[in-house]
Amino acid sequence: MRKSLYTFPLCVVLFFVTGSAQEHSLNRRAQQAFEKAGSQLKNRQYALAVASLESAVALDPDFAAAHQQLGDIYRRQRDYEKAIPHYSRVIQLNPALTPLTWFGLGESLLHTGNYQEALPALRNYAAIPGLDASGKRLTNKYIADCEFSLSAQQHPLDFHPVNPGPAINTEYDEYFPKLTADHRTIIFTRKVNERESFYESSLDSNGKWQPARFLEGDINSAQYNEGAHCISADGKYLFFTGCNRPNGLGSCDIYVSRREGDRWGEPYNLGEPINSAGWEAQPALGADGKTLYFVSNRSGGQGGYDIWKSTLQSNGQWGDPQNLGPAINTPFDESSPYIHADNRTLYFVSNGWPGFGDKDIFKSQMDADGHWPQPNNLGYPINDHREQSALTVSMNGRYAFFSSRRPDALGGLDIYSFELPEASRPNPVAYLKGAIVDSDSDVPIQAEITVTDILTNEPLYQESADYEDGTFLAPLPFGKTYALHVKHPGYLFFSKNYPLDDSTKINDAYEIRIALSPIKIGNKETLNNIFFETNQYELLPQSKSDLDNLIDFLQLNKEVRIEIGGHTDDTGSDAYNRTLSENRAKAVHDYLIHAGIAVGRLHYKGYGPSQPIAGNDTEEGRQLNRRTDFKIIK
The pair phi, psi for residue 201, each rounded to 5°, is -135, 150
Q: At what angle do helices 64-76 and 80-93 cross, to 10 degrees?
A: 160
On whether residue 260 sits in a domain, the answer given is yes
Q: At what angle do helices 574-594 and 544-556 cross, to 10 degrees?
A: 60
> Is 349 found in the same domain as 217?
yes
Q: How many of the other CB atoms lie within 10 Å of CB of 511?
A: 12
Amino acid at 107: E
Average pLDDT of the chain is: 91
Domain range spanning residue 503?
A: 428-518
* pLDDT 10s digits, 37-64: 999 999 999 999 999 999 999 999 999 9
Sign of CA dihedral 369, 398, 295, 78: positive
Q: How many of the other CB atoms lie within 10 Å of CB of 423?
A: 10
Contact 280, 245 (CB under 8 A): no
Amino acid at 155: H
On whether residue 14 sits in a domain, the answer given is no
How big, in percent rounded to 5, are the helix, strand and coil portions of the chain? 25, 30, 45
Whether 22 has a pLDDT exceeding 60, the answer reads no
Residue of 241, 262, 250 lying closest to 196 (CA atoms): 241
Domain containing residue 514: CATH number: 2.60.40.1120
The pair phi, psi for residue 154, each rounded to 5°, is -75, -10
d(CA 330, CA 347): 15
On whether residue 37 sits in a domain, the answer given is yes
pTM over the 0.85 mark: yes
| Residues with Cβ within 8 Å of residue 256, at least 6 apart in sequence | 237, 238, 239, 240, 267, 268, 270
Q: Which of 452, 486, 518 is the last residue of a domain?
A: 518
The bridge status of strand 360-365 relative to strand 376-377 is antiparallel
> Is 127 found in the same domain as 246?
no
Q: Which of 461, 492, 518 is the last residue of a domain?
A: 518
Burial degree of 509 (CB within 10 A; 0-12, 13-18, 19+): middle
Q: Provide the CB-side half-sphere exposure for 92 (13 A, CA).
A: 10
The bridge status of strand 345-350 relative to strand 334-339 is antiparallel
The model's confidence at residue 16, banded by pLDDT at 50, 70 and 90, is very low
Whether 247 has a pLDDT exceeding 60, the answer reads yes
Whether 6 has a pLDDT exceeding 60, the answer reads no
The β-bridge partners of 174 are: 190
> Is 192 found in the same domain as 99?
no
> Is 536 found in the same domain as 470?
no
> Is 249 found in the same domain as 145?
no
Whether 19 has a pLDDT exceeding 80, the answer reads no
Strands (E), 478-587: 481-487, 494-499, 509-516, 524-527, 562-567
* Mean pLDDT, residues 160-181 taken together: 92
Residue of 284, 274, 385 lying closest to 335 (CA atoms): 284
Least confident of 69-78, 158-167, 503-512: 503-512
d(CA 362, CA 327): 12
> Is 534 found in the same domain as 500?
no
Task: Please provide the DSSP assignment of 149-194 as one string.
Answer: HHHHTTS------B---TTT--SSEEEEEEE-TTS-EEEEEEEETT
Instruction: Give the length of the chain.
Output: 634
Q: At what angle do helices 64-76 and 46-59 cross, to 10 degrees?
A: 150
> Is 294 found in the same domain as 177?
yes
| Residues with Cβ within 8 Å of residue 124, at least 6 apart in sequence | 102, 106
> Is 412 found in the same domain as 306?
yes
pLDDT at 221: 86
* pLDDT 10s digits, 393-426: 998 899 999 988 888 889 888 999 999 999 999 9
| Residues with Cβ within 8 Å of residue 278, at least 6 apart in sequence | 250, 251, 296, 297, 298, 299
On whether residue 292 sits in a domain, the answer given is yes
pLDDT at 140: 95
pLDDT at 288: 83
Domain containing residue 369: CATH number: 2.120.10.30
On whether residue 4 sits in a domain, the answer given is no
> Is 602 found in the same domain as 586?
yes
> Is 413 found in the same domain as 432?
no
On whether residue 18 sits in a domain, the answer given is no
* Mean pLDDT, residues 550-575 taken together: 95
| Residues with Cβ within 8 Å of residue 223, at least 6 apart in sequence | none
> Is 322 found in the same domain as 406?
yes
Domain containing residue 578: CATH number: 3.30.1330.60
Q: Which of 518, 542, 557 is the last residue of a domain?
A: 518
pLDDT at 509: 84
Share of the chain above pLDDT 90, in %: 77
Q: Provide the CB-side half-sphere exposure for 91 (13 A, CA).
A: 18
d(CA 451, CA 90): 67
> Is 433 found in the same domain as 409?
no
On whether residue 465 sits in a domain, the answer given is yes
Give the chain's domain count. Answer: 4
Whether 80 has a pLDDT exceeding 80, the answer reads yes
On whether residue 225 sits in a domain, the answer given is yes
* pLDDT 10s digits, 423-441: 999 999 999 999 999 999 9
